[in-house]
Amino acid sequence: MRYLFDFLIFPGFLFTAVVGLVASWVDRKLTARVQWRKGPPFLQPFYDILKLLGKEVIVPEGSKGTGFLTAPLIGLAGVTLVSTILWGANLWGRAFVGDLIVVIYLLTLPSLAIILGGAASGNPISGLGASREMKLLLSYELPFLLAIATAIIKLGGSLRLADYTETLVVGSVSGVIAFIVTLLCAQAKLGLVPFDIPEAEQEIMGGPLIEYSGAPLAAFKLTKAMMLFVLPVFLMTVFLGGFHPKGIHILWGTLKYVGILIVIVLLRNTNPRLRIDQAMRWFWGPWTVLALAGVVLALLGY
């Protein structure tokens, strides 16, 4: 029963969904302020999800119905599991050998869900968006894994997330490099500008999500909001010493999360969208070289 509660209520689905929707409101509000607009009311993200849940679910003709309808659940389950593992390590020190590797694999599930859903919809525009998502995933995973390898080296090869909550990896040159690389890769994982290439509403009208409606579309939107909460927490845990539920550490942990979120939103609002070939060259070129430099410096003790 405890594991079921952890997964469904706290720190799993319900907690992550609520805080993720609040984070999406902060994103939209800050974006509006940058653009000299007022922005939405606080409860607008919740209204949007509830409205979608009440809409009719339409399965397009020619789609693969099973894959089309199950894809949103794959991403939602993945991000919920990540949140459960991360907060278990941060709040109670719960860990198992290799939980860091498990979290890295689970963080790919939202992208894989978009690829599966777009490919199963039977729409050529969705197929194009799924293809872009696949190329983007293959692009940023290499520097992302190299940056995480830097943190693993700094921790003496530890693969337990609870160990990272006691260490400030960014307290070294290699740690700072790895953090910057991971932050940019997180922007791509979130599908935000300049890496919103798979959806690109002005070009391919939402890409993989163009045929989705009702509850499945709500699941995709909710997954994205939850990722906006979970990915910064992952960065906090691995590089910034995690979150400690004691006294002033609560405020410090909150400020770390808010700081990362603000950087993500500002990156979104100060850069134009890249083409998929530009993103691939960028990740496989300068950022992979920078990530490799971080690994070498970590091995040398810097």
- 221-251: per-residue pLDDT in tens? 999 999 999 999 999 999 999 998 887 888 9
Measured from the Cβ of residue 1, the count of other Cβ atoms closer than 10 Å reads: 5
Rounded CA gap, 48 and 46, in Å? Answer: 5
Amino acid at 164: Y
Whole-model pTM: value is 0.95
CA 300 to chain centre: 31
pLDDT confidence of residue 249: 82
Whether the pLDDT of residue 282 is over 90: the answer is yes
CA 178 to chain centre: 17
What pLDDT digit, counting tens, does each position of 133-174 carry? 999 999 999 999 999 999 999 999 999 999 999 889 998 999
Do residues 39 and 32 touch, judged by C-beta distance below 8 A?
Answer: yes
The domains of the chain are located at 2-299
Rounded CA gap, 255 and 269, in Å? Answer: 21
DSSP character for 5? Answer: H
Residues in CB range of 101: below 8 A, 6 or more apart = 159
Question: What is the token pair recorded at 131?
Answer: 């293809």
Residues in CB range of 21: below 8 A, 6 or more apart = 45, 46, 49, 222, 225
Q: In which band, very low, low, confident or very high, does the pLDDT at 4 lie, cut at 50, 70 and 90?
A: confident
